[in-house]
Amino acid sequence: MHAGVAAQARRADLRKPRRHTMHISLRQLRVFEAVANNHSYTRAAEELHLSQPAVSMQVRQLEDAIGLLLFERLGKQIVATAAGRELYYYSRAINRSLSEMEEVMESLKGLNRGSLQIAVASTVNYFAPRLLAVFHQRYPGIGLRLDVTNRETLVQMLDSNSVDLVLMGVPPKNVDVESEAFMDNPLVVIAPPDHPLANAHQIPIERLAEEIFVMREAGSGTRQAMERFFSERGLSIRHGMQMTRNEAVKQAVRSGLGLSVVSLHTIELELETRRLVTLDVEGFPDRRQWYLVYRRGKRLSPAASAFRDFVLSEAAGITAPPGSSGKPTRA
């Protein structure tokens, strides 16, 4: 049957009056949400580790139960109909409550069991494993999962309540979150040891405007801070290459591709071995903070609360970068 005709026939079929209450399963809602998020049956199937026909069937059964079409095809994309958009709103609320319910049930198991999912910004990964190691020694029964990802994904994870705690540089403004500073994050200007400015003192910031800078990607917190630092002083940065990893930025600076601004946490080894140097520039180090962030109103499980207390009281002592006071300087 022609696709348009098939859709019409299906619409007519769905419109037949139904008197029964809707029989919707949680599984169908999970599948529905994955299709809506991915705009594709195939990608949803991959995400859920199901076959594509299984995903289509779940959506079809959900449409039958509701009596309305939930998706339509726009070219190659699958988009939600008005009914689909409404359902998406409720489905997300239900799925959020479900994960909260799981967390509460988990919490009743106490600190000897349970699991903890932590997501961190890429720069945090320079010290997060050390924190997890100490925490794990103290609470060996708690299963730990660490996701290292970019800022945009961290914000999505907070929004969808799919993570217990996030460690990041700039708490998001568009999601309602609690954020607590736990450690200094000094940003420094790095250069190769043979750079003409390597031994200079009190370099005026205007002098840096003449240099090329290796940049992190647009979503990076380090980059945001660097751009703000320069623009607040009425200066613009001369962009060189762009890299999505601190490691790549450091290699590029070592190879003479330009200067850069990075967190002191990322260059411990390079400073020790003098593969890189920090420049003595007016206004640097730029003192920022690391934050522990979670959704406002979230009920933290005992495992998550224990990790929060641990980070706030001990992280700075365990992983502060050299030369930093460690403890956050509260504004």
Nearest distance from C-beta of residue 123 to ligand PGA, angstroms: 4
Binding site for ligand PGA (CB under 6 A): 121-123, 151, 168-170, 216, 220-222
Quick one: 115 or 153, whose CB is closer to ligand PGA? Answer: 153
| CB 84, CB 271: distance < 8 Å | no
Nearest distance from C-beta of residue 331 to ligand PGA, angstroms: 16
| CB 48, CB 59: distance < 8 Å | no
Nearest distance from C-beta of residue 291 to ligand PGA, angstroms: 9
Any alpha helices (H) in 70-173, and if so which ranges? 82-107, 128-138, 151-159
Q: Before 285, cis peptide (omega within 30)? A: yes
- The three-state secondary structure class of 90 is helix
Quick one: 28 or 123, whose CB is closer to ligand PGA? Answer: 123
Nearest distance from C-beta of residue 195 to ligand PGA, angstroms: 23
Nearest distance from C-beta of residue 168 to ligand PGA, angstroms: 6
Quick one: 36 or 154, whose CB is closer to ligand PGA? Answer: 154
Tokens of 183: 């450690």
CA dist 127 and 266 (Å) reads: 9
Quick one: 86 or 152, whose CB is closer to ligand PGA? Answer: 152
Quick one: 28 or 185, whose CB is closer to ligand PGA? Answer: 185
Long-range Cβ contact pairs of 97-100 (< 8 A, separation 24 or more)? 98/26, 99/161, 99/162, 100/161, 100/298, 100/299
